[in-house]
Amino acid sequence: MKIPYTKIALITGATSGIGMATAKIMAKNGYNLIVTGRRAEKLAALKDKLSHKYGVKIQTLCFDIRDAQAVLKAWNSLDNDWQKIDVLINNAGLAKGFASIHEGKLEDWETMIDTNLKGLLYITRLVTPKMVEQNSGQIINVCSTAGHDVYPNGNVYSATKFAVDALTKSLRLDLYKHHIRVGQVSPGHVEETEFALVRFDGDSEKAKIYQDFTPLKAKDVANAIYFMISQPKYVNIQHILLMGTQQAGSNFIDRSGRLEM
Ligand code: NDP
Ligand code: 8X3
C-alpha cells in the first residue's frame, strides 16, 4: 500500500494497556501506525477504530515477538515505504509469576527473557538499519521501576527490565552519531492494563493489586511517551521515571486507600 508521507510509528504490544493507549495518542497526533501483538482480533478492532476516528493509515502485524523467524516474516511483509519507521516503541512485555527464586518456574523465566529482552532485540535489529540509512528516527523502550530497583519475588522480571535499561543506554551510545534519538519510560504500577492478570495467569482475584491505592493509568504513560516524541529533533529525553503519587519506589506504596480524583 502506497502511503502519503507522514510519520510512521511502530508500536509493539498494542493490543492492550500502555501500547494501546500510546497507539491512540499517536493516531490522534497524525501518525500512521504499525501495531503488533498476538491477538489479531484486537489489532483489527484497534485499526478500525483509530483509522476511522483520526483518518490515519494503520498496518497490523500479528506475531509472537519471541519467535525471531515470525518477527522477520512480519517485517518482510511490509512495503519498503512502511519500513521507514520514524518512531519505534518497544512496549511488548510481561511479568509471569511472583515466586521466590527457589520456587520460580523455568517456563515463566524463559517467557519473560524471550519476550522482554530477546523480542525487543529482534524487532530493534530489523528497524534500526533503515533509521541509520535515513540518519533519523527515535526509539522508546518501555522499561519499569523494576528496571532500577528490585523487590521480593520480582527477581527475573526485574532482571529483564534491568537489561532493558542497559540496552537503552547502549542503543543511545551506538546510535547518537546517526542522529537517532533513544530513550525509555520507567513506570511504577499501571492499571487499565492486563499486566497483573497476565502475571497471575488469569487469576482475577490475585490480580486485584490496585484496590487500596491509585496507580498510574495506561494513558499517563502514553502521555509521557508522547512528550518525549513531540520534542524538537535536537532534544533527546533519555529517561522518564514515573509513578502514582502513592508509590515512592518498588517497595514503597501507601496502601491506605485510593486517592479521589
Ligand atoms: P498488557 O498486558 O496490557 O500489555 C502487554 C502487551 O504486550 C500486549 O499488547 C501483548 O499482546 C504484548 N505481548 C506480550 N507478550 C507478547 C508476545 N510474546 N508477542 C507479542 N506481543 C506480546 O500490559 P502493559 O500495558 O502493562 O505492558 C506493557 C509494557 O509495560 C510491558 O513491557 C511491561 O513490562 C511494562 N510495564 C508495565 C507496568 C504495569 O504496572 N502495568 C509497569 C511498568 C512497566 P498480545 O497478548 O496480544 O500478544
Ligand atoms: C511493572 C511494575 O512493580 O509490578 O513493571 O514490577 S512492578
Cβ–Cβ < 8 Å for 2, 27: no
pLDDT along the chain (261 residues), means of 10: 73 98 98 98 98 98 98 98 98 98 98 99 98 98 98 98 99 98 99 98 98 98 98 98 98 96 75
Ligand 2 lined by 155 (C-beta under 6 Å): no
Q: Which three cell numbers stand for residue 119?
A: 523480542
User: Could you tell which of 110, 157, 193 is best to mutate to test the pocket of ligand 1, judged by most ligand atoms within 8 Å of the CB?
Assistant: 193
Q: Which CATH architecture has domain 8-253?
A: 3-Layer(aba) Sandwich (3.40)
pTM: 0.98
Domain definitions of the chain by residue range: 8-253
Residue 261 has a pLDDT of 75
Provide the pLDDT for residue 219.
98
How far apart are the C-alpha atoms of 58 and 43, rounded to whole Å? 10
